[in-house]
Structure 1
Amino acid sequence: MTYASEDLLDQLRREREGRRISQRGLSQRSGITQSHISQIESGKLEPGLSSFLALARSLDLEAVLVPRRLLPAVTGVLRAHRPVDQGPDDRTRKAIDSALVHIQNGQDKTTDMATLDRLSKALVMLRSAPLAPGDQDLLRAALDLLADKRAAVSQDVLAKAANILWPLRNKIAHATRGTPRPAYSLTEDDNDA
């Protein structure tokens, strides 16, 4: 097996294991037998292009075929547009889900529905939003306020959590990106020519 294909196949194996898909499950998704997948991952079998593409697509990955001379340009573009962060980790997502259930079940007739609605919308949005380390700390602080499952959520606790989460939600939702600078300018006062 060539070194280039080893890296690609190792990446496919890591992706499969990261998604907790067994070789048998990948076999059912891709149409390639489980024994072939095992041999490919162990390096005993060099996969053909069609097998490699079938495995990649079954893991929701997109393989891009690029001429060798254009590879540095494509790599640079892909690197520039790579997402910074994938959002909260699984533990934080589970805490958000349990907080949503807890505040919905813990409401009573005196609960301010506007605050509850704002809090729910913020939690749903922050569940998948990319967060900076400081933002993650704010999210955890608000989740800690809502974490007491023994008692109904008081109006005061809901208001405090909403006052933490709503500005955080607005900061992420309305983030301003720097204006892109052109690589070249076409002004008439260039005297370089």
Structure 2
Amino acid sequence: MAYKTEHITQQIRAAREAKNMSQRELSARSGLTQSHISQIERGTMEPGLSSLVDVARALDLEIVLAPKKLMPAIGNILGSASVTSDTLTSEQRKLVGRLERWLAGVRDQFSIASEADTLKDSLALLRHLPLSADELDRLREATLHLNRWQDDPPSRKELSEFAHAVRQLRNATVHRDRDGAVPRSAYALEEEDDDA
């Protein structure tokens, strides 16, 4: 019997197995019985929303509603996130960490607070997305500004341009095809539109 939540319950089972967690352990973390979890995973019971939320959160997942037009970008992010963390180099983590620490110290110097917030969000994504060699080079270039700015603090215009450059890097990383080829728009209006 196919339920509307079948895809979700399959993902829940896959997430549980990826964490090497037994149904019994998931039961203890979620507050649901092991039998209930088993029935959900086998598809013999349509889970209620509260049960889905409890199980998802016990697996460090969240259930969210997203605009349909953003699904290509979300799919790309999730696809990138499913790549093992081994593809994220320690250099990438260090560079992003350095930029995040720098931002925490200069946040009040941005002329518009939303620019600092956007930069923070961009860095949070770059921390988790595997970068191509070219994208890693661009990230290295961004951190070179920090060395210069230690002696000569940046102007508000330079901060704005820097935030824009990091946002462009984030967008290029999120919107590229999974094989790393041509960037693809995340805002296709129709699923059948191959030119999006």
TM-score normalised over the length of structure 2: 0.44
> Which has the larger helix fraction?
2
Report the structure number with the largest CA radius of gyration.
1
TM-score normalised over the length of structure 1: 0.45
